[in-house]
Structure 1
Amino acid sequence: MGASQQERSALEVIMDLLQQKWVYELFGEIGARQKASAAHVEELREVDAAAHVFWPFQAPPFPIITKSASGSTLTDIDGNTYLDCHMGYGAQALHGHNPEPVVEFVRERLATGTGNGYTSELELELANLLREITPHNEKFVFQHSGTGATQGAIRLCRAHTGRRMVAKFEGTLHGSHDLAVHNTAPWYHGHPALPFPKINPDGTMPLISAYTGVLPAEPRDLLILPYDTAQAVALIERHADELACVLTEPAASSFPFEETTIPMIREVAIASRRLGVPFILDEVLTGFRSGLGGAAQKWDIPTDLTTYGKVISGLGLPLSAIGGRADILDHTQTSGQAFTDYGQKTGLQGSHTGNYLSVAASIATLRLQQSKGPGYYTELRAKVDRVQARLAEFRSQHGIPLRMVGFGDYVGCFQFLPSDSYTDYRVYSRELNPATFMLSLLLRKRDIYMLGMPLWFAGSAHTDADVDRMTDAVLESTLELAANDFPFDLAWPATDGPAWEDDGSWS
């Protein structure tokens, strides 16, 4: 059977699954309990094109419209209350929804701040707090989102070096700006509909995501590194004079195996420093979660710039940061003389950067995390280990390949996989079961909220009882899948995409 026929067969399995009686019954049950949410979504569709419920490839089936949240619980407009494992893509993971010390700190400042367009004394307080927590950073630039932080870091490195090319690893997820969405996570990249390109000595072909409207990157703009330390270092050495920066994740959400990625990233960071190529560590996911000082501090990864997002914020208020070397960050700091700045500086400031309430919420959130100390991470790791032990016992007892893969403290994804760990990103991507969204739907009817992909962003708001309740629901839901002959071993075949031609073009 050819590869394309295999792909069609995999898709046919999913289509057959969706037409089974038990699936119709499940859809009907969830639809009945979410009637108000469904009606609201349809009204929203008429006037709002970019709400989270409309995010391509990311929006959960049967989206809910939220009404309130507190700690680890979430309530929708139908009155359903869920144990929330999503936690705003992890942005509320540290302390849960609306932690009282953060709410109170922000409430005290609601009627006193300027909002945006000014600099308050709180910005200095936050910058000093961040430097205390992450002493490997000399200065900081505040932005709105993780996407803005990685995009800004690239611009700063280009300004600093005068070079253009950016190197990133295949499969890494650095936000939604144009360079970031090339060769990104498989669900954005379009795999298996868009096969992986061949890995050649000259690098991997830059592929845009399944998002339309993104212009293809030129080879002089983007260098795609394979998950191979020797090849990655060799490519960086070859292009050192062209590279503005190397942009990496310490543990990619699309390849969540620290035992593979951390040693590789550290070697790449050391090589980049030796070659004089600025190294950006994207800690939007791992910052303050892989220990208070993040992955850079935990694993002694030398960085030039580090990007932060997600939990740096509080109460879901938009905030991100770029930290690192002063000489690079100073490319966006005025000299105080406009005629001296002209043509010599780059701008990252905007109307809402350094927003008063966002900065206030961040100070309160990070202070609270700091006060919890190392015990926070020890306790959370114990919860994660208990889940992993129960899953191992379940696999042994039932022979069902249910695993939770993830990193840090903690981003866990429940998947049906034949192996505990992977060294090859492409093999892992092919073995991701595309029908795992059915697990999320079965959890929904058990009042556990996850996205389409069953993700658990853990934190202190999840009590031991919450964790046991979630695990019970995952195991019960998996047995329900088994009782309905769910295809646990559904995977995509290996297929070859474009490759380099002898003249340097792509075939």
Structure 2
Amino acid sequence: METYSMGPDRTDLLLPHSLPPDLSPVPAHLSTQTLRGSPNRPNMNRERSRNLYDRALSVTPGGVNSPVRAVRPYPFFVERGDGAHVIDADGNKYIDYVMGYGPLLLGHDLPQPVQSAVQSQLADGPMYGAPTEVEVELAEFVTRHVPSVEMIRFVNSGTEATSSAVRLARGYTGRDKIVVMQGSYHGAQESTLVQGTAGMASEPSSNGIPPAFAEETITLPFNDADAARELFEERGDEIACVLTEPILGNCASVPPVDGYLETLRELTEDHGSLLIFDEVMTGFRIGGLQCAQGKFGITPDLTTLAKVIGGGFPVGAIGGRADIIEQFAPTGDVFQAGTYSGHPLSLTAGLETLRYAAKNDVYDHVRSLGDQLRAGLTDILEDRAPEYTVVGTDSMFKVIFTRDGPRDLEGQCAAGCSQDPDCPRFEYCPKDKGDVNRAETERWERLFWPAMLDQGVFLTANQFESQFISYAHTEEDIEQTLEAYKDAL
């Protein structure tokens, strides 16, 4: 996938910049009070991580189990989580904004009610191959809060959710073509691992995918309403669905311009296609319990969910209108099944996480910290890198190393790009994947990311992946992070 900028073998990039000589590893049993590494005091030794990576290269392709983890010069190996922090195998402590790439809304330490429920479920047995009450309870919770979801089918991952949603849309409409946004990511599935130009048949973006699969997928630039209208005018009766994230989360959290999602909703309704929101990342992060669709006021036909609804355990789901979801077997003719679907441990963790968020100030807390962090970053960039762009909303954020910007920043978006036409940055802010591609992605990855890591701040691995704030983060974490940005920029 093009968002992954690391190759499968990084043994040629074992650079010494983060390995001070003659420092022995810190024993894993050290308490967090004695751990090395904090913002503005870089003294990281990662010898044990380097040795673990050397071992991993012999038994795992590229030394990792997901290519995004293959950071330069090698990944640090996590020993454990601690609230809003992770501690690596050498005892270094980092403020964590990866948060498992999104699932950990509450942080690494589960609140007592959540932890107790998970432990109780584990004591009752891991799984049964039969329905459980928690499946019904989590389904009721989601259908009660998410506008588009009348019925839901639980699966095991975001990839499985999106691939099943595409199959369902094709089965429901009797059409084969699907539309995705250029540079979007909807999991490791054949229908969406594609690349192409607007309105044209796509090509596979990975080896192993037959060209005939990709030919059924049409790509559009995100935020280009005219391109969407032109496509539907020409081929609307061929299109089964438009599959899009409401915010391009795997493209640094690029937000929609005013009216774009509304255009997709109108076009799909007018031509008998389905609108699918991939809320694997934004679900129960953006817009609180109503998800991003509630925040933007757009109700899709289908919604895919994962990450937060599993509370840190593997999960996925497809929800939507009852007449569509009931096309899944056994009530319909679209086959979908899975041994681990509706896994009681994952659903218990997800249900208790969402219940905790609903009963406490979780969303107010993460939204407030997100605004504080994005506003602080905006102020820092105005002084140090005025061409760069802060993006994100609620508990998601990123700094995109854009190359151009206005000379006068008066009146700019105060806490992250909101695609405000009156903002002086509007014509310069990224609107789609191409805009992010043109940013200084190599500078971000080769220089900035390692510098932040040495300051004790763990960010997602490249310019394209969003970053996340959790309920465990504090104002002190935000202040330390802003100081680290000042030094790294």
Cα-to-partner distance string for 1:46-90 (whole Å, 9 max, x where unaligned): 223387x35335522221222211211111221222211111001
1:137 aligns with 2:123: no
1:214 aligns with 2:248: no
Q: From 252, 256, 280, give the equivalent of 2:253.
A: 256
Q: From 174, 179, 183, give the equivalent of 1:167.
A: 179
Q: What is the identity, as a one-letter code, of the residue corresponding to 1:462? A: H
| 8 Å Cα contact 2:201-2:217 kept in structure 1 | no
**1:71 alignment partner in structure 2:** 83
**1:468 alignment partner in structure 2:** 479
**2:28 alignment partner in structure 1:** none
**1:395 alignment partner in structure 2:** 381
Q: From 446, 459, 463, give the equivalent of 1:450.
A: 459
Indicate the SS of the match to 2:247: coil
| 8 Å Cα contact 2:313-2:349 kept in structure 1 | yes
Cα-to-partner distance string for 1:196-222 (whole Å, 9 max, x where unaligned): x654xxx1341322x322222467511
- In structure 2, how many angstroms separate the alpha carbons of the residues matched to 1:26 and 1:141? 48
| 8 Å Cα contact 1:237-1:275 kept in structure 2 | no
For structure 1, list consecutive stretches of 5 or more residues without a partner in the other structure: 1-10, 12-17, 184-196, 336-343, 479-507
| 8 Å Cα contact 1:332-1:348 kept in structure 2 | yes
Q: From 133, 137, 146, give the equivalent of 2:158.
A: 146
Q: What is the identity, as a one-letter code, of the residue corresponding to 2:376? A: R
- In structure 1, how many angstroms separate the alpha carbons of the residues matched to 2:129 and 2:228? 42
- In structure 1, how many angstroms separate the alpha carbons of the residues matched to 2:290 and 2:372? 25
1:345 aligns with 2:333: yes
Structure 1 pair 396–331 and aligned structure 2 pair: CA distance change class (3 A): closer
Q: What is the identity, as a one-letter code, of the residue corresponding to 1:453? A: N
Q: From 469, 484, 488, give the equivalent of 1:477.
A: 488
Structure 1 pair 463–333 and aligned structure 2 pair: CA distance change class (3 A): same
1:434 aligns with 2:442: yes
Indicate the SS of the match to 1:180: coil
Q: What is the identity, as a one-letter code, of the residue corresponding to 1:410? A: S
Q: From 20, 27, 37, give the equivalent of 1:29.
A: 20
**2:273 alignment partner in structure 1:** 277
1:304 aligns with 2:304: no
- In structure 2, how many angstroms separate the alpha carbons of the residues matched to 1:163 and 1:370? 39
- In structure 2, how many angstroms separate the alpha carbons of the residues matched to 1:31 and 1:299? 54
Structure 1 pair 101–243 and aligned structure 2 pair: CA distance change class (3 A): same
1:414 aligns with 2:399: yes
Instruction: Pick which of 384-393 and 469-478 moved more.
Output: 384-393
**2:220 alignment partner in structure 1:** 225
Q: What is the root-mean-square deviation in Å for CA atoms of aligned residues?
A: 2.6
- In structure 2, how many angstroms separate the alpha carbons of the residues matched to 1:376 and 1:302? 24
Structure 1 pair 231–179 and aligned structure 2 pair: CA distance change class (3 A): same
Give how far 1:382 is off.
Answer: 2.9
- In structure 2, how many angstroms separate the alpha carbons of the residues matched to 1:86 and 1:219? 31
Q: What is the identity, as a one-letter code, of the residue corresponding to 1:333? A: A
Instruction: Pick which of 449-458 and 431-440 moved more.
Output: 449-458
Indicate the SS of the match to 1:306: strand
Q: What is the identity, as a one-letter code, of the residue corresponding to 2:299? A: P
1:93 aligns with 2:89: no
Instruction: Pick which of 65-74 and 29-38 moved more.
Output: 29-38
| 8 Å Cα contact 1:116-1:354 kept in structure 2 | no
- In structure 2, how many angstroms separate the alpha carbons of the residues matched to 1:362 and 1:215? 36
| 8 Å Cα contact 1:166-1:221 kept in structure 2 | yes
| 8 Å Cα contact 1:304-1:325 kept in structure 2 | yes
Cα-to-partner distance string for 1:202-249 (whole Å, 9 max, x where unaligned): x1341322x322222467511212331022023124323222211111
- In structure 2, how many angstroms separate the alpha carbons of the residues matched to 1:332 and 1:310? 22
- In structure 2, how many angstroms separate the alpha carbons of the residues matched to 1:68 and 1:393? 33
Structure 1 pair 428–462 and aligned structure 2 pair: CA distance change class (3 A): same
- In structure 1, how many angstroms separate the alpha carbons of the residues matched to 2:159 and 2:238? 24
- In structure 2, how many angstroms separate the alpha carbons of the residues matched to 1:226 and 1:204? 12
1:383 aligns with 2:383: no
Give how far 1:369 is off.
Answer: 1.2
| 8 Å Cα contact 1:167-1:222 kept in structure 2 | yes
Q: What is the identity, as a one-letter code, of the residue corresponding to 1:457? A: F
Structure 1 pair 24–244 and aligned structure 2 pair: CA distance change class (3 A): closer
- In structure 2, how many angstroms separate the alpha carbons of the residues matched to 1:145 and 1:351? 13
Give how far 1:155 is off.
Answer: 0.7
Corresponding pairs, count: 428
- In structure 2, how many angstroms separate the alpha carbons of the residues matched to 1:391 and 1:97? 27
- In structure 1, how many angstroms separate the alpha carbons of the residues matched to 2:111 and 2:22? 31
Give how far 1:106 is off.
Answer: 0.5
Q: What is the identity, as a one-letter code, of the residue corresponding to 2:121? A: R
